[in-house]
Structure formats: C-alpha cells, structure tokens
Amino acid sequence: MAANIQTIGVIGAGQMGNGIAHVCALAGFPVMLNDISPDRIKAGLATINGNMTRQVSKNTISEDARKSALALIKPAEKYEDLVNCDLVIESATEKEDVKRKIFADLCAVIKPEAIVATNTSSISITRLAASTDRPENFIGIHFMNPVPLMELVELIRGIATNDSTFEASKTFISKLHKTIAVSEDFPAFIVNRILLPMINEAIYTLYEGVGNVEAIDTAMRLGAHHPMGPLELADFIGLDTCLSVMQVLHEGLADSKYRPCPLLVKYVEAGWLGRKTKRGFYDYRGEKPVPTR
C-alpha cells in the first residue's frame, strides 16, 4: 500500500527549491520551506510571491489561488520543523558531501515512515540513499528549471527504493500536473545525459573556431528549432552547473566523449558563470546580451 503524501518539506529556498514549494502549494499541499538562514527563506518566499503574481497577470492562475497557495507555505528554520512532513525534498547545492550532511541531520529528526527525496540532477540516488537510515524510503525526484513552467519530472529509484515509495511519489507528481519520465539510476539520468553533452559539444564548436557564439546559437535555434541556442542555455543553467554535470558523466561513465571542454573550464575559473554573474558566453551588463566571443 502506497504511503499517503500530504505535507511536504523542501530543503533549499533557492531557484529550484522555491519553484518546488511554489508548485506544491498551488496543488494544495501544505509546504514547510527550509534553508540555512531565515533571510534565505524570506528571499525564497518573496520570489514565489513574485512568480505567482506574474502568473496572475498572465491569467495562468487566479488571485484567490495565489493567496491560498502562499498561505500554505510556512518557513521552517530548523529540521525539527519538518517532523510532520510525509515527504521531504532536498534541493540544496549539487555537492554530494553537502547533501549527505543534510540527510544525516534530517533523518535524525523526521518521522521514520517519511519519504526522503533528492532533486539532484546527476548524483547517484543509490549512493545518496545509502547515507540515510531509510534507503527503501529514498527516491530521486528531479524537477526541471524553471519548475513552475516545465512539465517534466524525472523519477529515479535507487537500488533499494521500495514499491510503495515509488508509487506514492508517482501519485504525488501527478497531483502537481507534471508528466513523469522514469529513469534508471545512471549518471545525469535522461535529460542531462542528452542535453549537457550537446551543450559541451557546442562549446567545443566555439573553442575550435567552427563558429562564433552568435552563429552557433542562431544555427541551433533556426536550424534545429531549439527555443534557445545551446550557449545561451548554458548561461541560463549556470556554467558551473554544466561543468559539474559533465564531470559526473566523465567520472561515472569513464568515456572520453564526456570530457568537459577546456573552454568551459576556463570560463568557470574566471568566475564567468552565465546570467547569475552577468557574464558567460554573453555579457549581460548592458541593455541587451552581447556575445563574449
């Protein structure tokens, strides 16, 4: 019998975490939002409010839906505040040691039957599950960015994940009106295993001088009907995130085709991480983005 998921905990109030809290509350789930400081939680709540207000102005949701959804999200400054959650989704930074520490501290205080999920985009679910006291109640629920807009969720079982955890997670995702793609637990799962090597190849194309930034992005937008060129998309994702996924693929599958492009490494070393630092393959400091190569 599948567990009944009613109250959701979200760890991490950043871009992904606040997006997850946003869609859960709109679907009618009470949400406890946690981060390492009250200020970060406050900033996450402000972002959710802003994003929901935008949805109201576009007639995607009603003003009443916005108000009732916001009322369902409560700040949780410590893990003890998540004690009544049926499902806790970790959406912290993409570093395994950080995630392991969170799970160790979290599992010590939440109820034994609670399901623990990670929103990792590339790290082994089996390995993360093994660092908890409940590998059978542990699962990968990988939302796409930006969460309120993207229709897909990847669902990944670890080797120990039991059927009731899997079924309960499937039911939960369907209540969010998202579509599920079930992936096996291999590095980067489905979307990033296909998408990131394509972005890495676009960076190699730039590195080898086959085309400049503008030519590459125009070619893929107009020649392959991609809504965004691969270099523009890399800037949107964050070049540090792109690099870390490529490193996970390269180390986890030991195939030279996943070798991160040296130019990507150089940009990350320069601190040019894309939109969030105002410079990446484009410079965002002026009125409109200008290619940097």
Indicate which residues carry an active-site annotation: 121, 142, 154, 192
Amino acid 48 reads I
8 Å CB contact between 228 and 262: no
The values of phi and psi at residue 161, to 5°, are -55, 125
Element (H, E) at 138: strand 138-143
**Where is 291: in which H helix or E strand?**
strand 290-291
How many whole angstroms separate alpha carbon 74 and alpha carbon 98? Answer: 24
Q: Report how far residue 282's alpha carbon sits from residue 2's, in angstroms, rounded to the nearest whole number.
A: 48
For 257, which DSSP code? G
CA distance 237 to 245: 11
Six token digits for residue 139:
């699962």
Length of the chain in terms of residues written: 293
Structure tokens at 136: 């059978």
Nearest to 198 by CA among 170, 230, 167, 154: 230
Instruction: Report d(CA 36, CA 77) in Å as an integer.
Output: 7
Instruction: Assess contact for 25 and 73: CB atoms under 8 A.
Output: yes
